[in-house]
Structure 1
Amino acid sequence: MADAADDGAVAAPTFPVPAMPSPPVGVVGLGQLGGSLAAAFVAAGRPVAGWDVDPAARDAAAARGVRITRELSGVVVLAVPLPAMTTALDDLAVAPDATVTDLGSVKRPVMEDLGRLFGGRLVGGHPMCGTERSGHTAVDPGLFSGARWALCLEPDTELPRWLRVAELAMAAGAEVVPVTAAEHDDAVAAVSHVPHLLAAALAVTAGQAGPLALALAAGSFRDATRVIGSDPAFVSAMVQGNAGPTAAALARVQEQLGRPWADLVTEGHAVATRAQGRRTVRVPLERAALLALGRAGGAVTRRLAAFVEGWVPATVE
């Protein structure tokens, strides 16, 4: 990182990547995530095109100012369920030079499947936001504000296209985390996919405990089980699509539960309550340096000519 050479994150200098005009945006899938993204750009005065197989979702998006069309160009965002990723564009007219990105919660299988169709034009993505609600009635233009948005930077990813998608994510209010697909799937298994399974297990266990237990359930139970209110088909596709890393992360949780409970509670409390600040850094537009930022737990917040500016965690004394 440019102001943090002691972190070992600066790679060999590269030629600057010029700034590009904002491309058109097309969103396929106008449910909570896709509809919220389209609504965020409409609210910012940016033209957005969109399509959804559901007429009600199309009507709701049109009422918010989205231009409903089957013809898409610029940056085309796939905001559809994981099983529909490879077929979502079949009946649409997508410009041959369009950059394609997605909002899927699993990246390796999506990158493999879509990569065969779009090659270096594909930039895999996953905004870490959303709620247990779904569909076009759950649209929120502020959904991405302050969220981390993972963007895959693979060896064959075209950097100018990656930057276009990164700028789109930041324009929606998110902070961009450069990752590889494999790194993403390993990380979210621990912080997203296993929590969905744990929430399901807690809900089932409480249900088996009977009506009294459910009547006494309060804040801790509500918070611990909130995410399993999501669409079961969505959750199943997510955990099964990332089965290997999720099983490995779940095994680590089971190992932790075998420790003395007082030790586990103390260490868990320390992790959850540790104070961290942020240190601003500038990173050259180079794959290794960008990935080093993500691996350090940092994120990109804005583009600066031949650099991006962002932050990494800093310990608060």
Structure 2
Amino acid sequence: MPAPPVGVVGLGQLGGSLAAALVAGGRPVQGWDVDPGARDAAAARGVQITRELSGVVVLAVPLPAMAGALDDLAIAPDATVTDLGSVKRPVLESVGRALGGRYVGGHPMCGTERSGHTAVDPGLFAGARWALCLEPDTELPRWLRVAEVALAAGAEVVPVTAEEHDDAVAAISHVPHLLAAALAAAAAEAGPLALALAAGSFRDGTRVIGSDPAFVRAMVEGNAGPTAGALARVQEQLTRPWAELLADGHAVATRQQGRRPVRVPLERAALLALGRSGGAVTRRLAAFVAGHIPEDIPDDEVPDPA
């Protein structure tokens, strides 16, 4: 059976890169964007520009625009709808409430501080982790259709719930944006000499705050509770003796983590166990999925094998 088409709403960096990657792999892709320049750029890459979308419809728009992203578009009644938003609970409450089991929340952990259709990169998703939500009412066949889109773009799929996703990304994505902003603002207060001497460590530590501030604000405010909790944990770490803090941080940042392969049945509890263990799906195998988990996961925490 041929793979269903993919419709992408929003053809900026993430949506345009996904469309370009899928077109390059031979997948039929439809797309729409309110920006004529983004539409023209996507059409030049082989995307069919249309307001009529079917198959798997991907919302690749900013979080504030997510709830109305399908307005004025004709979406096939049997289409599966997913999104690429960096926060999942608010989208689940808006888009998910309207669509029920047809909606599958998603978030690819990739992208840069650049934005717009000029930042499109067909290789953006290669090797990236793509969180894909499995809620109690998520229809598993639809989850698999979205997973196959992510895999086709070169990503690895991490099964999660919306709540688990938002708690996790607060620590590893949202707080780093706030820390980057604080570091940049504090360096500016230190004066022009400090900024003139800034080199690699300052550049790396502040890179992400080069993103559009409106985008970052929507992200951290949309996930305010988990982000505040994660930020409090960082502040607590900063009160530790510096030698201990530096040693522990260095150990985490330089750890070598191997992988071991696993096969997992297409069942919600087993898939979520894979994600919680730090693993990911890399292939669909009929009634199973293949993937990997960290090598040091204890045997009693390994997801049930297929």
Matched, 1:251 2:232: yes
Alignment of 1:134-153 (within 5 A): 134-153=115-134
Give the deviation of 1:112 after TM superposition.
Answer: 1.0
Higher relative contact order, structure no. (Cα contacts within 8 Å, ≥ 6 residues apart): 1
| AA partner of residue 41 (structure 1) | L
Tell me, in whole angstroms, the C-alpha distance in 2 between the residues paired with 1:279 and 1:116: 38
Tell me, in whole angstroms, the C-alpha distance in 1 between the residues paired with 2:232 and 2:2: 47
| AA partner of residue 142 (structure 1) | G
Q: Which residue of 2 aligns with 1:62?
A: 43
**Per-residue CA distance 1:112-165 (angstroms, 9 max, x = gap):** 111121000000000000000000000000000000000000000000000000
Q: Which runs of 5+ in 2 are unaligned?
A: 298-306
Tell me, in whole angstroms, the C-alpha distance in 1 between the residues paired with 2:121 and 2:276: 30
Give the deviation of 1:313 after TM superposition.
Answer: 0.5
Matched, 1:303 2:284: yes
Matched, 1:45 2:30: no
Give the deviation of 1:315 after TM superposition.
Answer: 3.5
Tell me, in whole angstroms, the C-alpha distance in 2 between the residues paired with 1:81 and 1:170: 23
3-state SS of the aligned residue for 2:68?
Answer: coil
- Contact 1:24 1:73 survives alignment (8 Å): yes
Q: Which residue of 2 aligns with 1:82?
A: 63
3-state SS of the aligned residue for 1:177?
Answer: strand
3-state SS of the aligned residue for 2:127?
Answer: coil
Tell me, in whole angstroms, the C-alpha distance in 1 between the residues paired with 2:97 and 2:287: 30
| AA partner of residue 119 (structure 2) | A
Tell me, in whole angstroms, the C-alpha distance in 2 between the residues paired with 1:179 and 1:22: 24
Tell me, in whole angstroms, the C-alpha distance in 1 between the residues paired with 2:64 and 2:94: 11
Tell me, in whole angstroms, the C-alpha distance in 2 between the residues paired with 1:315 and 1:85: 39
Q: Which residue of 2 aligns with 1:221?
A: 202
Q: Which residue of 2 aligns with 1:197?
A: 178
Alignment of 1:93-242 (within 5 A): 93-242=74-223
- Contact 1:50 1:66 survives alignment (8 Å): yes
The percent of aligned pairs where both chains have the same amino acid is: 86
Give the deviation of 1:21 after TM superposition.
Answer: 3.6
Q: Which residue of 1 aligns with 2:304?
A: none
Tell me, in whole angstroms, the C-alpha distance in 1 between the residues paired with 2:216 and 2:192: 26
Give the deviation of 1:45 after TM superposition.
Answer: 1.9
- Contact 2:21 2:122 survives alignment (8 Å): yes
Q: TM-score, normalised by structure 2?
A: 0.96
**Per-residue CA distance 1:12-59 (angstroms, 9 max, x = gap):** xxxxxxxx6411100000000000000001111221100000111111
Aligned residue-pair number: 297
* RMSD, aligned α-carbons: 0.9
- Contact 2:166 2:223 survives alignment (8 Å): yes
Q: Which residue of 1 aligns with 2:274?
A: 293
Q: TM-score, normalised by structure 1?
A: 0.93
Q: Which residue of 1 aligns with 2:300?
A: none
Tell me, in whole angstroms, the C-alpha distance in 2 between the residues paired with 1:178 and 1:104: 15
Tell me, in whole angstroms, the C-alpha distance in 2 between the residues paired with 1:272 and 1:40: 31
**Per-residue CA distance 1:249-277 (angstroms, 9 max, x = gap):** 00000000000011000000011111110
Tell me, in whole angstroms, the C-alpha distance in 2 between the residues paired with 1:314 and 1:54: 46
